[in-house]
């Protein structure tokens, strides 16, 4: 691999009071240190991204972070679509997970009416709806599908993860993704969806939970570490074959 850092675009509206944002800042250096690789993270406000889409296009990896509604949700979805269609490593956590599901439903499944209840409560298809019970600063079990890429990355089929969310994929709409290549690969103890992965993509994952919180405890989360490794691999290929 050639020298130089991997450019990580952090899509979201940075706020130091948001625990997950501080967790992102803490978790990325830990992942890079674990791998012995150099990274160059950059926070990209969605308003700035809306004006200049190339800010995401020039990244080696895209992490769409928590804390919604975004100032420019359409810009976030456009960046997610770019990552999906161009094979750029992508990680979406919490709000980023929700918007990745929206992007896929709208642009891959042709469900243009798919919406987020937080943004469009009267929409015909509320793909992302209010959770039956808010998951605000709670920790709970997550069960991974055996044999999934996520389970292989984490080295287990059982995790305990932290949340800070009030919205998620409405379980009744889970069926819309069957056979699409986007697979639900994690559930909570009630069977509700908590993570997805996209078949055929170098690295495209979303989690309702917030793996970045491990960084605040001084731990490198395996999913974040795998994301950094994928971004660096993408960087090596694209810069050697421009």
Q: How many other C-beta atoms are found inside a 10 Å radius of the C-beta of residue 25? A: 17
When the candidates are 3.40.50.880, 1.10.40.30, 3.40.50.2300, 3.40.1710.10, the CATH number that belongs to 6-240 is: 3.40.50.880
Q: What is the DSSP string of 77-142?
A: HHHHHHHHHHT--EEEETHHHHHHHHHHHHHTS--TTEEETTT-TT-SEEEEEEEEEEEEEEEEEE
**Cα within 13 Å of Cα(99), Cβ side:** 31
Q: Where are the alpha helices (DSSP H) in the chain?
A: 19-35, 46-51, 54-57, 73-86, 95-107, 149-154, 222-240
User: How many residues does the structure list for the chain?
Assistant: 242
Average pLDDT, the chain: 94
Phi-psi region of 152 (alpha: psi -120 to 50; beta: other; left: phi over 0): alpha
Which two tokens mark 193?
A: 């969806």
Q: What is the pLDDT of residues 132-168, one digit of tens each?
A: 766 777 899 999 999 999 999 999 999 999 998 889 9
pTM: 0.95
The dihedral over CA atoms of 224, 208, 10, 25, expressed in degrees to the nearest 10, equals -60
So what's the pLDDT on residue 1? 40
Q: Sketch the domain layout of the chain as residue ranges.
A: 6-240
CA distance 91 to 168: 16
Q: How far apart are the first and last CA of the chain?
A: 14
Digitized pLDDT (tens) for each residue of the chain, 242 residues in all: 446 899 999 999 999 999 999 999 999 999 999 999 999 999 999 999 999 999 999 999 999 999 999 999 999 999 999 999 999 999 999 999 999 999 999 999 999 999 999 999 999 999 999 887 667 778 999 999 999 999 999 999 999 999 988 899 999 999 999 999 999 999 999 899 999 999 999 999 999 999 999 999 999 999 999 999 999 999 988 876 65
């Amino acid at each position: 691999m050639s020298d130089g850092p991997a450019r990580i675009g952090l899509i979201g509206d940075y706020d130091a009071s948001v625990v997950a944002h501080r967790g992102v800042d803490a978790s990325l250096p830990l992942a890079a240190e674990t791998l012995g690789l150099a990274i160059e993270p950059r926070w990209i406000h969605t308003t700035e991204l809306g004006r200049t889409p190339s800010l995401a296009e020039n990244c080696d990896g895209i992490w769409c972070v928590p804390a919604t509604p975004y100032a420019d949700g359409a810009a976030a979805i456009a960046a997610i679509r770019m990552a999906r269609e161009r094979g750029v490593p992508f990680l979406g956590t919490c709000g980023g997970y929700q918007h990745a599901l929206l992007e896929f439903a709208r642009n891959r499944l042709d469900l243009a009416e798919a919406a987020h209840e937080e943004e469009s409560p009267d929409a015909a298809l509320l793909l992302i709806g209010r959770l039956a019970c808010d998951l605000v600063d709670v920790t709970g079990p997550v069960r991974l599908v055996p044999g999934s890429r996520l389970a292989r990355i984490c080295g287990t089929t059982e995790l305990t993860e932290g949340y800070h969310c009030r919205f998620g994929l409405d379980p009744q709409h889970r069926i819309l993704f069957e056979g699409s290549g986007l697979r639900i690969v994690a559930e909570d103890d009630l069977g509700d969806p908590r993570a997805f992965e996209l078949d055929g993509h170098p690295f495209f994952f979303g989690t309702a939970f917030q793996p970045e919180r491990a960084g605040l405890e001084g731990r490198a989360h395996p999913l974040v570490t795998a994301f950094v490794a994928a971004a660096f691999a993408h960087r090596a290929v694209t810069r050697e074959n421009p």
